[in-house]
């Protein structure tokens, strides 16, 4: 009977993806002395900010909601005691939540930034997709945005990089996936520490996210993350926040939709895998129509190398098997796919290894 609902689910997911790509979710970790404010808060607008919080923490959340084209879809706030020795309790809770960017407290210390960066690295290594905006954290990772601008003047107040990480996270989360946050204006800022053009270029080339004054207004330099080291599987395009956003969304959509609607519900036969591949192709086609992927650039199929490695690990001698026989072989409850896509704004194809 095939998979009557897989195509429908992927079409629904693709339609939802375009809506989700307009606005992301920001997670904020705070420390506060007020017991009434401690714990988890899910906010959809600034009027829901817990009144018991201190003024600095309230302002920090408020800045996240400024966004860019849109405000963030949601802001998750986890409040620790102001005497908490680390951020472990907050990070442990956030591991059960879905969000795009996490930031530390407005006075985020170096050791707290390191704690968040390590957590993000572990989550991404496990196939999840959180990212973080951290002050002065050159992490060489597509999952870390290294915000380094100082002397940020807003009215009578001046902030350092840590005090403005929530604003940057909200700005990125409020950037639709069809555009970049490069040159996004921050109209509330009247000035920042000035850098010569050569110094700004060097900072950006070193993976720093900066904002600068162009003579009239303050705006984002370039939408880059901290990634520096590239390889054949992770090229220069992965230095762009826009590209990583799209790759993370697509990989997560495919994995979650297949897990929810395929694994455990249908026999993992070759025929059913082919139907799953057809459904994913339809998902890509919708993203092409909506301007996230380049038209005609997408493909998906069985990952022959991964499938053969699975068979060999299971003790199967694959030396005499044809490519088609490897494709059709039983892989238990695993599905190994390889997709190739071209995200608009990228100059090269991106290969995704997908294990479901």
Delimiting residues of CATH 3.30.1370.220 domain(s) in the chain:
22-220
Mean pLDDT on 169-177: 94
Tell me the whole-structure pTM to 2 decimals: 0.88
Mean pLDDT on 193-219: 96
CATH 1.10.3720.10 fits 22-220, yes or no: no
The tokens for 126 are 């496990």
**Distance between CA 346 and CA 340 in Å, rounded?**
13
| 4 confidence band (pLDDT: 50, 70, 90) | very low
Ramachandran sector of residue 127 (left: φ over 0; alpha: ψ -120 to 50; beta: rest) = left
**Distance between CA 317 and CA 217 in Å, rounded?**
65
Give yes or no for a contact between 268 and 332, defined as CB atoms under 8 angstroms apart. Answer: yes
The pLDDT value given to residue 3: 44
pLDDT tens-digit map of 95-137: 999 999 999 999 999 999 999 999 999 999 998 999 999 999 9
Of 327, 354, 356, the residue nearest 338 (C-alpha): 354
| 342 confidence band (pLDDT: 50, 70, 90) | confident
The tokens for 182 are 């490069």
Under DSSP, is residue 356 helix (H, G, I), strand (E, B) or coil? coil
Give yes or no for a contact between 158 and 143, defined as CB atoms under 8 angstroms apart. Answer: no
User: Look-up: residue for tokens 């009215």?
Assistant: 155
């Amino acid at each position: 009977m095939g998979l009557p609902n897989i195509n429908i689910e992927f079409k629904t997911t693709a339609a939802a993806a375009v809506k989700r790509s307009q606005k992301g979710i920001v997670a904020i970790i705070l420390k506060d002395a007020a017991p009434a404010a401690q714990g988890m808060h899910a906010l959809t607008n600034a009027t829901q900010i817990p009144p018991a919080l201190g003024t600095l923490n309230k302002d920090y959340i408020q800045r996240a909601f400024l966004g860019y084209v849109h405000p963030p879809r949601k802001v998750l706030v986890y409040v620790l005691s102001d005497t908490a020795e680390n951020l472990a309790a907050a990070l442990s809770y956030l591991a059960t939540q879905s969000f795009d960017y996490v930031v530390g407290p407005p006075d985020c210390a170096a050791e707290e930034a390191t704690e968040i960066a390590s957590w993000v690295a572990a989550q991404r290594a496990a196939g999840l997709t959180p990212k973080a905006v951290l002050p002065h954290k050159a992490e060489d990772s597509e999952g870390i945005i290294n915000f380094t601008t100082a002397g940020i003047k807003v009215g009578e107040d001046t902030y350092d990089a840590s005090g403005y990480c929530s604003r940057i996270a909200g700005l990125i989360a409020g950037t639709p996936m069809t555009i970049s946050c490069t040159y996004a204006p921050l109209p509330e800022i009247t000035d920042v520490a000035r850098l010569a053009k050569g110094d700004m270029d060097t900072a950006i080339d070193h993976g720093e996210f900066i904002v600068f004054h162009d003579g009239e207004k303050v705006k984002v330099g370039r939408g880059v993350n901290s990634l520096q080291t590239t390889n054949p599987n992770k090229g220069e395009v992965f230095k762009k926040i826009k590209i990583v956003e799209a790759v993370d969304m697509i990989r997560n959509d495919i994995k979650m939709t297949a897990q929810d609607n395929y694994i455990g519900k249908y026999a993992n036969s070759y025929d059913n895998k082919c139907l799953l591949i057809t459904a994913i192709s339809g998902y890509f086609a919708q993203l092409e129509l909506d301007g996230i992927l380049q038209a005609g650039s997408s493909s998906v199929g069985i990952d022959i190398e991964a499938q053969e490695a699975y068979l060999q690990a299971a003790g199967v001698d694959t030396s005499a098997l044809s490519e088609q026989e490897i494709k059709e072989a039983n892989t238990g409850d695993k599905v190994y796919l390889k997709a190739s896509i071209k995200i608009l704004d990228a100059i090269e194809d991106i290969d995704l290894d997908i294990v479901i």
